[in-house]
A and B are shown apart, each in its own frame.
Chain A
Amino acid sequence: MTLKKFSVLGLTLATALTATACGGGGKENVASSEGEQQQQPMAGQKITVFAVNHPWTDALKPEIPKFEKETGIKVDLQVFAEEQLQQKLAVQFTTGADTPDVFTYRPYMDKILYAKNGWTAPLDDYANRNADYEFGDFSKATIEASTIDGKLMSIPLWTDQFILYYRKDVLEENNIPVPKTMAEFEEAMKKLHKPKDDFYGFVARGQRNALVTAVSSFVFSEGGDFMVGDKAAVNTPEAVRGFKLYADLVKNYGPQGVLNMNWAQAIGLFAQGKAAFYVDSAALFKNAIDPEKSLVADKVGFGVFPAGSAGAKPYSTASWSLAMNSQSKGKDAAWAFMEWATNKQNALMIQQSGVPGARDSVWASKEGTEKFPVDLAAAIQETMNIGVDHFVPQVMSVTESRDAVGAIVVKAILGEDIQAAADLANKELQAIIDKDNSQ
C-alpha cells in the first residue's frame, strides 16, 4: 500500500517502486533501493526512438511500457511516415544532433551513405555481448545486408522475399499447374491473358525507380547482377536477358498504364481480381488476402519465384532495420532497447502479427508461421534458403542508380532498343560507382 502511495505521489523513486509494486506483492520482492539501482543501472535515462509507420511499430508499441518498467529507461517513441522519417533523419544527422538515439532505416537504400557520413554506430560489440540474445539466430542474408566493410551497422527487423502471387481458382479452372520455370510462367500468362474481358495475365511494378527491386530477381535468375565487384554489369548478355524478360512479360501480358504503377497500384489491381499472376515482396501479402482490401481474398495462392535459365534466384533481404545514432549520449540504454526490441520473444510476437521477421528460429517454430497461409510460409522459408541478399545496386546513391537501371525496362516497354538502353545505363551506373569510390 505505502509503495503504491509513493508511486502515486510521483517521487523520484517512482519508477523503481512501481516496478516492485506491480511485480507481484510478497515482502521478499521489495528490494532495497540500492538493489534496484543495481538491477536497473540505466534507470532514469531517456532515449528517443524514430520509427517508421509500419505494422512492426504497431506491434511493438504496446509492449514498450514493459521495457520501461524492467529497465527504468524512458522511451520516447516517435513514428513517421517513410518519406518524412527519411527527411527528418537527414536533418537531425546533418546537424550532428544526439537524437534520435535509435532509428529504423532501410539498409539497402541508406547503409553506405549513413556509414560513410558516420551517422550509424557499429554494433558488433553489443550484438555478441549477451549470449541469450542469440545473435547467430538472425538469417545470414539479412545480416549480410546489414553489414558494411565487415561492420554490423544495424539489426534486421523485417525481411523481404520476392515470391509469386497467383490466382488459385483461375489456375485450377484452366488446368494450369503453378509455374516452376520461366517458360511455364510465360505459357500460363499467355493462356490466361484476356484484355478484352479486363483480365490480364500478369501485373507488376512499372515505375522506373520502383521496378528495380522486382526486376532484380529476373536478372539474378538469368545469371546476371547489377554489379560485379566495382564494375557495372547491367549490359551483360545475362542481365539484358533478365531485363528483357521482365519488360516483355509486363508489356505483352500486363494491364494498360503499367508505367505509372508502383507496388500499391499493381497489387491493388491483383486484389481487384484483374490479373492471374503478380510478383513482389512477400511482405505485401495482406493486401491480397485481407477481405477488406481484396475481392479475391480466399483465392490467392503463393509460390516460389519460377526458375530462369540460371535457376531460381529471387531476392531475400533485410527490408528495414534498427540502427544507432553514433552521436547518441546513451549508447548503452539505446542498445538495451534495440536488444529488447529484437530479442527472440518480441521477434516471435511481432511475426505472429503478420510481419515476416529475420530470426531463423522463429521461422522454424510452429508459432512463428501459424499466422501465415501455409503456402506463403513455405514460399518464404524456401526463398530465405535460396535467396540473393540484395535487390538494388549496392552503391551510395541508390536512388540515382535505380533511376539509371530502371530506365532499361521502361525503354524496353516503350519499344526502344534494349541493348542500347542497357549500354547507356551501364555507363551511368559505372559513373555512380566511380564517384562513390573517389569520395
Chain B
Amino acid sequence: MVGIVNWLDRHLKWVFVTPALLFIALMVAFPIFYTARLSLFEWSMSAVQPPKWVGLDNYAALLASKAFWHALWITFYHSSISIVLETVLGVAIAVLFSKKMFAARAAKTMMMLPMVATPVSVGLVWLLIYEPSIGMANQVLKRLGFETQEWLGSVTQVMPSLIIVDVWQWTPMIALIAVAGLATIPSDPYESASVDGANAWQKFTRITLPLLLPTLITAITLRVIDLVKTFDTIYATTQGGPNFASQTLNLMIFDTAFSGFKFGYASALLIVFFLMLITLVLVLNGLRRKAGSLQ
C-alpha cells in the first residue's frame, strides 16, 4: 500500500496527465495514423477481401486526377470569397454595433439566429428559396422586374449562390468576435487622434483596424478552418452538383468513401486535406503573432 502511494507520489506529474494523453492517443493520434496507413491500401470494406497494399499509388492517382484539382479549386473559390465578404461585412456590422444604437441588443440576438440553426435545415431552406420556378428568390426578382436566375441549377451560378448562404449564416460570427475585440480597445488613442485632427476614416484605418487585427485573425482562422471543411449545407443543397460544379474536397472525400467504397483513395485524400489545413493554420498563426507583435 505504502509502496503504491510512494510510487504515485514520485510520478505524480505523469499520473495527472495520463488521462489526457490517453484521450489524445485514442481519439486523435490513432485515427490519423490509421487513416495514413489505410491510404497506402486499396480497400472496399470487404469482409472477404483484405485490404491490398498499393504503396503510394493512391497519392499518385490523386495528383493525376482532374477531379482532385477541380475540387481543390472549388474549395479555394468558396472559402476565399466567403471569408473576404464575411470579414468585411462582419467588421462593418461590429463597428455599427459598437456605437450606441437603438435596439442594439435585439438586433444582435436576431443576427445570431442563422448561426445557431442546424446546417442541414439551413440548406433545405435555401434549397426552397433558390427553387427556380416556385422559390422566393426568383419570385422577388420577377416582382422587381429582373430576369429570373437558375441559382443552384446552373454550373456558373451554383458557387456564388452557396457563397451567399455561407455569408448569410456566418458573418454574424465574425461580427460577434469583432464586437468583443472592439470593446478591449482603449479610448485614449482615439482622443489623442481627435486632438491631432484625424477624421473618422483615418481613425478607423490607423487605430481601430490595427488594434483589432489579432482578434480578427483569430476569428478568420476559426472561420477558414470551418469554411474549408464545409459539408452539410452544400450536401443538403446540391450534393456537389450540377456536374461537380460545387464538389469541394470534403464532398469529394465523402463520395469517394461512402458511395464509391474506395477507402484507400479517400484516406489519401483525407491525409492531403489534413496537411493542407495544418499548413493553413500555421500560416494564419504566424500572421497573428506578427500582427500581435506590431502593437
Residues on A with C-beta less than 8 A from B241 are 207-209, 259-260, 410
B151 and A257: CB pair below 8 A? yes
Q: Is the CB of A257 within 8 A of B131?
A: yes
* B49 in complex: contacting residue of A96, A117, A208, A265, CB < 8 Å: A117
Minimal Cβ-Cβ distance residue in A for B67: A403
A399, closest chain B residue (CB): B259
B192 CB–A CB distance under 8 Å:
no
Interface residues on chain B, number (Cβ under 8 Å): 33
Query: Which residues B86-136 have CB closer than 8 A to chain A?
Result: 130-134
Instruction: Find out whether the CB atom of A208 lies under 8 angstroms from the CB atom of B154.
Output: no
Q: Are B47 and A257 within 8 A (Cβ)?
A: no
- Quick check: is A242 within 8 A (CB to CB) of the other chain? no
What residue in chain A is nearest B134 (Cβ atoms)?
Answer: A272
A274 cross-chain contacts in B, Cβ below 8 A: 133-134
A residues 227-272 with Cβ under 8 Å of B? 255-261, 265, 269, 272
Chain B residues whose CB sits within 8 angstroms of the CB of A414 once the complex forms: 155, 243
CB nearest to A265 among chain B residues:
B131
Choose one: A116, A208, A265, A411; the contact of B48 (CB below 8 Å).
A116
B134 touches A269 (CB 8 A): yes
| Residue of A with least CB distance to B42 | A439
A414 and B258 CA atoms in complex are apart in Å by 28
- The answer to whether residues A208 and B133 also contact, given A94-B47, A258-B153 and a CB cut-off of 8 A, is no
Pair B151/A117 contact, Cβ less than 8 Å: no
* Residues on B with beta carbons closer than 8 Å to the beta carbon of A56: none
Q: Is residue B260 within 8 Å, beta carbon to beta carbon, of the partner chain?
A: yes
Known contacts A207-B242, A261-B153, A117 near B134 by CB under 8 Å? no
Q: Do B261 and A397 touch (CB < 8 A)?
A: yes
Q: How far is the CA of A272 from the CA of B131 in the complex (A)?
A: 13
Give the residues in chain B near A265, CB-CB below 8 Å. Answer: 131
Chain A residues near B45 (CB-CB < 8 A): 90, 93-94, 117
CA distance A206 to B45 in the complex (A): 31
Q: Inside 8 A of A397's CB, which chain B residues have their CB?
A: 260-261
Contact A269 B133, beta carbon cutoff 8 Å: yes
Are B242's CB and A260's CB within 8 A?
yes
B244-277 with Cβ < 8 A to chain A: 244, 255, 258-261
Q: Nearest residue in A to B243 (C-beta to C-beta)? A: A410
Q: Taking the nearest CB of chain B, how far is it from the CB of A259, in angstroms?
A: 4
CA A174 to CA B82, docked complex, whole Å:
50
Give the Cβ gap from A251 to chain B, nearest Cβ, in Å: 12
B163 at interface (Cβ–Cβ under 8 A)? no
Which of A117, A207, A255 is close to B132, meaning CB atoms less than 8 Å apart? Answer: A255
For the complex formed, measure the closest distance between the CB of A144 and the CB atoms of chain B, giving whole angstroms.
24
B48 near A256: Cβ-Cβ < 8 Å: no
Query: Would you call A400 and B259 a contact (CB within 8 A)?
Result: yes
Interface string of A273-287 (1 = CB under 8 A from B): 010000000000000
B150 in the interface (beta carbon within 8 A): yes
A389 to B26, CA, bound (A): 48
Instruction: Using A118-B48, A198-B133 as known contacts, say yes or no to A113 and B261 having CB atoms under 8 A apart.
Output: yes
Closest to B133 in A: A255
What number of A residues sit within 8 Å (CB to CB) of B? 36
Q: Does A324 reach chain B (CB closer than 8 Å)?
A: no
B47 engages A93 (CB within 8 Å): yes
Whether a CB of chain A sits under 8 angstroms from the CB of B184 is no
- The answer to whether A119 has its CB under 8 Å from any CB of chain B is yes
| B-side contacts of A272, CB under 8 Å | 133-134
Find out whether the CB atom of B47 lies under 8 angstroms from the CB atom of A119.
Answer: yes
Contacts of B130 in A (CB 8 A): 257
Across the interface, do B46 and A117 meet the contact criterion of CB distance under 8 Å? yes
B218 part of interface (Cβ distance < 8 Å)? no
Given the complex, which residues of A lie within 8 Å of B258, measured CB to CB? 86-87, 90
Which chain B residue shows the least CB distance to A86?
B258
Q: Which of B215-230 contact A (CB under 8 A)?
A: none
**Contact, CB under 8 Å: B155 / A259:** yes
Q: Does B175 contact A (CB under 8 A)?
A: no
The answer, yes or no, to whether A407 is at the interface (CB within 8 Å) is: yes
What is the distance, in angstroms, from A382's C-beta to the closest C-beta of chain B?
A: 31
Bound complex: CA A181 to CA B121 (Å) = 42
- Contacting B at CB under 8 A, from A339-374, are none
Most chain B CB within a 10 A radius of its CB, from A96, A206, A260 = A260
Question: How far apart are the CA atoms of A206 and B152 in the complex, in Å?
Answer: 12
What residue of chain A has the Cβ atom nearest to residue B263's Cβ?
A94
By a CB distance below 8 angstroms, the chain B residues around A208 are: 241-244
Report A210 CB to chain B, min CB distance, Å.
9
CB closest chain-B residue, reference A255: B133
Which of A86, A93, A206 has a CB less than 8 Å from the CB of B242?
A: A206
Shortest Cβ gap from A209 to chain B (Å) = 8
Q: Which residue of A lies closest to B152 (CB)?
A: A260
Residues in B whose Cβ lies below 8 Å from that of A206: 153, 242
Whether a CB of chain A sits under 8 angstroms from the CB of B18 is no
Chain B residues with Cβ under 8 A from A260's Cβ?
151-153, 158, 237-238, 241-242
* Nearest chain A residue, comparing its CB with the CB of B45: A94
Residue of B nearest to A203 (CB): B133
Could you say which of B148, B149, B153, B155 has the most chain A C-beta atoms within 10 Å of its C-beta?
B153
Query: What 0/1 readout, one digit per residue, does chain A (180-204) give for beta carbons within 8 Å of chain B?
Result: 0000000000000000001010000
A206–B241 Cα distance when bound, in Å, is 10
- B44 proximal to A (CB < 8 A): yes
A257-B132 contact in complex given A397-B260, A410-B243, C-beta closer than 8 Å: yes
How many Å from the CB of B245 to the closest CB on chain A?
Answer: 9
Chain A's closest residue to B52 (CB) is A439
Pairwise interchain contact B133-A259, C-beta atoms closer than 8 A = no
- Chain A residue contacts of B259, Cβ below 8 A: 399-400
- Given that A117-B47, A198-B133, A265-B131 are contacting pairs, would A257 and B261 also be in contact in the complex, using a CB cutoff of 8 Å? no
Contact A411/B47 with A257-B153, A261-B153 known, Cβ cut-off 8 Å: no
Kindly list chain A residues whose C-beta atoms are within 8 Å of the C-beta of B239: 207, 209
- List 13 A-B residue pairs with CB atoms under 8 Å apart, sorted by A's residue number: A94-B45, A117-B47, A118-B46, A206-B242, A208-B242, A209-B239, A256-B132, A257-B132, A257-B151, A259-B154, A259-B241, A260-B152, A260-B241
| Contacts from A to B (Cβ < 8 Å) | 86-87, 90, 93-94, 96, 113, 116-119, 198, 200, 206-209, 255-261, 265, 269, 272, 274, 397, 399-400, 407, 410-411, 414, 439
6 nearest CB pairs, A to B: A257-B153, A257-B132, A259-B242, A256-B132, A399-B259, A260-B153
